[in-house]
Structure formats: C-alpha cells, structure tokens
C-alpha cells in the first residue's frame, strides 16, 4: 500500500475543504431557495443555521478524520470497533459514490453550457426550454459531457492529495472567487438591478414561516457537504497542527460567501428583466438565465457573451471542486482497505460512476419511461435517496456519535491540539452537537420526506 499523504499547507487544507463545500448547491440550489423563500429573511436564517448546525457538524467530521488519519470507513472501525456505529463509515463511503453517479450528470450540463457560451450558442438560443430539453434527451451528447467531466476529476484524483487535490484547489478556488467578484460587479451595473439588491438585503420578516425555517436548515446542512464522507476523508489528511475550529469557520465563511455572492450575481440580473420571476425554481440556471443574458445585455452583446462564459465557467469550477471531494472518499477506501495503488482505485471509482452515471443521464432521454423504484427514474432515485435519506441519516449518526459516543477528552484534545489552543467554545460545541444538531437534522429529514409540517 502507498504511504499515506497529508496536505502540504494550511492554505491547502482550507481551500480543499472549501472546495468540497462549494459546489453547484451554492450557485444553483441556494439562489433557488432564496428566490422561493422570500429573499433576505431566508438568508439571515440560513446564516444562523450554518453557525448553529453546519459548523458543529463539520467540526465533528474533522475530529473523526484527523484523529484516526484513516479513510471514513476505517475511521469508525478504529473508534468504535465491533459496534453498529461502524455502519456510518461505510454509509459515508457509499453516499459519496452514490452522489457522484448522478452529480456528474449535472456537472456535464455545466460543461455543455460553457462550450455553448464560448461558441456563442447561448446568446443565440431562441427557446431555452426547448434547447435544454433537446440536449438532455439526446441519447449520447449528455453522456459525452458527463464522461469528460468525470475524466477531469479523475485526472486530479489519480495524482494524489498534494499534487492533485491540493494543487488543483489552490488554482480553482481563487479563480472561482475572482470570477464571482467580476460577475457581481457586472450584475450590479445592469439597469433595474437595485430591485434585486433590495430583495437580497432588505428582510421581509412577514415571509418567515415554518417551511422557510426548515428550508434554511436543509440548505445549510446540504451546502457544507456534511455526511458525504468528504470532510472526514479530507480531515484525515490534515496535519496535526491544523486548527479544526478555525478551519471549519473559514470553510463555512467561504461557502456562505460564495452562496450569497451567487445571489448577488443572479437576482440583480433577474430583476433587470421584468418578465423573469425570482422564484423560477431549479430551471433558473439552465433555462431562465440564458434568456436573461440575452435581454439584459442586448445593448452590449459582447458583454453578454463574456458574462455567460464566466458564469458557466463558475458553475463548472464549483462542480469540479465538489466532485473531487466526493470521488476521494471512495478512492481512499479502496486504496487503504484493499491495498490498491491509487491509480487502480481511481480507475474503479471512475469507471463505475461512468456506467451508473450513463443510466442516470439517459433517464432524460431513451430511459425516461424506465421506472426502478417508487415510480422514479434512475436519476430521480439517486437524487432522492442520497439527499432525502442517506445525508440526513448520516448527519444524525455523526452528531450522536460525536456527542454521545466519543470520549470528551479525545474530542477536546483534537479541538485544542492537545492543549495548545484555547477551548472556550468547547461547551457550546458539545451542547449543539448533542442536542441541537440531532433534533434539527431530524426535522430536516422528516420535512424532506414530506412527513413533517409545523
């Protein structure tokens, strides 16, 4: 078996972990949630949920991963050998693979739209709904783009932790943040964009309902890549002097900033085009925005072209940084459990995801009428089971395991780097992870299944 690697710098730790958290959920799902839940009031609740729910859970995964320096499955085997808690380690590995299979399909769409933006096709779309439908239902084009994106991810993972994940994160994350800054400035310059600013910055507390609160909790949980095995695996590569609390805070700050800035990109543009509603839903990115680009920049076509290119490049970068992090837990498990080379472990994960991802992609075309369970297509099934079952269940187990099973001294030692750091927030963290996190995730779980309503 190859010698286990570590991240080479604290900056690499933060950027790689932030890349894991920053994904399509920030640029795609967050603006959708903001649009459908009233704007600024939702953002305030979301930030509170990140602090009270997201950060404690992230810290818990960091503690488990850094203490054991093992892949997710073996980490739980070491900490709770011969107990049912070991199930969570395997669930984390399987969840990563499960998500990668269908997430790569959507990532492929971002690559397609980037190519279309570069060639000017996005600016020439007459009916974006038909364009999107024709592409996704094509029997081979979406599969091709999906495979290309997976191969990009494979190229990074096969090079290892420092030469692959860390170096790529140090390149892609600053580029992603720079693109966001440029797009925000461009979006603010659009006529009528002030309405979008008001929507995002002026809270209307009358819009706060139980559904809005539950949606904010769910978005905070899903946005940070918790319970996917990613953060635990990355933490196993942390150096012993890494400050876990500070790293979690930095990752949460970057993740939340990217999400909110994505809103500042999208909504001023949306409000500058009167006929487009801010609650356009999940089709906002691939169906609504191409029309927005055309109308908003009709007076300066080249600016519309540049905006579209940068926006879809932003989406692709966000998709790739997340794909790297959900590819690695499965690769690390195969590499360490079966003493494989990294190259062979990476090949197995990549090829299996190509096969299953193809089925998910074809769910929009030739396999659209094929139903596997509960009347769902392959894509819908993988999406539903991972987001609404595996992730909430995994999150609850992580909170209970850290809060009730792990020895307090071990957790405190990890958070204080064996007494070299202060621990004033430790009692608050323990309270949140023991009581608040399990209850909150339980509510999210029931809400996502449609079984709970306040």
Residues 410 and 418: their CA atoms lie apart, in Å, by 9
* pLDDT for the residue numbered 400: 97
What are the structure tokens assigned to 361, written together? 């992609």
Task: Supply the angle between the helices 301-337 and 342-361 in degrees, to the nearest 10.
Answer: 130
Instruction: Give how many domains the chain has, as a whole number.
Output: 1
Domain hosting residue 329, numbered range:
10-352+390-448
Residue ranges of the chain whose pLDDT lies below 70: 1-2, 192, 272-284, 296, 298, 452-454
Indicate which CATH number applies to the domain containing 186: 1.10.4160
1 assigned to some structural domain: no
Residues 228 and 210: their CA atoms lie apart, in Å, by 27
364 assigned to some structural domain: no
* pLDDT for the residue numbered 35: 80
Residues 150 and 161: their CA atoms lie apart, in Å, by 17
374 assigned to some structural domain: no
Question: How many CA atoms does the CB half-sphere of 43 hold within 13 Å?
Answer: 24
* pLDDT for the residue numbered 272: 67
Residues 196 and 268: their CA atoms lie apart, in Å, by 4
Task: Quickly count: other Cβ atoms within 10 Å of residue 8's Cβ.
Answer: 16
83 assigned to some structural domain: yes
Q: Which residues of 282-307 are buried (b: 16+ CB within 10 A; e: fewer)?
A: eebbbbbbbbbbbbbbeeeeeebbbb
2 assigned to some structural domain: no
44 assigned to some structural domain: yes
Contact 50, 25 (CB under 8 A): no
* pLDDT for the residue numbered 454: 44
* pLDDT for the residue numbered 273: 65
251 assigned to some structural domain: yes
Residues 441 and 224: their CA atoms lie apart, in Å, by 14
Residues 428 and 176: their CA atoms lie apart, in Å, by 33
């Amino acid at each position: 078996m190859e010698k286990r690697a570590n991240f080479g710098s604290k900056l690499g730790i933060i950027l790689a972990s932030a890349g894991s958290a920053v994904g399509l959920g920030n640029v795609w799902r967050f603006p959708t949630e903001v649009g459908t839940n009233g704007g600024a009031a939702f953002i305030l609740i979301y930030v509170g949920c990140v602090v009270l729910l997201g950060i404690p859970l992230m810290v818990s995964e960091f503690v488990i991963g850094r203490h054991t320096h093992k892949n997710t499955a073996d980490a739980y085997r070491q900490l709770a050998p011969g107990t049912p808690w070991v199930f969570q380690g395997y669930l984390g590995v399987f969840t990563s693979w499960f998500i990668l299979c269908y997430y790569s399909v959507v990532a492929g769409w971002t690559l397609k739209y980037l190519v279309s933006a570069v060639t000017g096709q996005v600016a020439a779309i007459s009916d974006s709904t038909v364009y999107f439908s024709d592409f996704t239902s094509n029997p081979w084009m979406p599969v091709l783009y999906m495979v290309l994106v997976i191969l990009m991810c494979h190229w990074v993972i096969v090079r290892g932790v420092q030469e692959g994940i860390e170096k790529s994160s140090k390149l892609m994350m600053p580029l992603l943040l720079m693109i966001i800054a440029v797009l925000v400035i461009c979006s603010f310059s659009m006529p009528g964009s002030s309405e979008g600013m008001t929507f995002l910055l002026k809270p209307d507390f009358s819009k706060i309902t139980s559904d809005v609160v539950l949606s904010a909790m769910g978005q905070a949980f899903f946005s940070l890549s918790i319970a996917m095995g990613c953060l635990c695996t990355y933490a196993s590569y942390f150096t012993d002097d890494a400050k876990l609390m500070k790293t979690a805070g930095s990752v949460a700050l970057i993740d939340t900033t990217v999400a909110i800035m994505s809103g500042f990109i999208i909504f001023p543009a949306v409000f500058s085009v009167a006929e487009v509603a801010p609650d356009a839903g999940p089709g906002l990115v691939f169906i609504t925005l191409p029309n927005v680009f055309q109308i908003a920049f009709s007076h300066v076509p080249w600016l519309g072209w540049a905006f579209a290119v940068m926006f879809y490049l932003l989406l692709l970068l966000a998709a790739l940084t997340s794909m790297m992090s959900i590819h690695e837990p499965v690769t690390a498990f195969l590499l360490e459990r079966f003493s494989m080379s990294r190259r062979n472990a990476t090949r197995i994960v990549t090829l299996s995801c190509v096969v299953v991802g193809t089925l998910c992609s074809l769910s929009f075309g030739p396999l659209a009428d094929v139903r596997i369970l509960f009347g769902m297509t392959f894509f819908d099934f993988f999406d539903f089971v991972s987001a609404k079952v595996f992730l909430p269940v995994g999150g609850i187990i992580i909170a209970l395991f850290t809060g009730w099973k792990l020895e307090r001294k071990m957790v405190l030692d990890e958070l204080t780097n064996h007494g070299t750091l202060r621990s004033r927030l430790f009692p608050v963290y323990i309270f949140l992870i023991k009581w608040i996190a399990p209850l909150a995730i339980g509510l999210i779980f029931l809400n996502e299944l449609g079984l709970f309503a306040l």
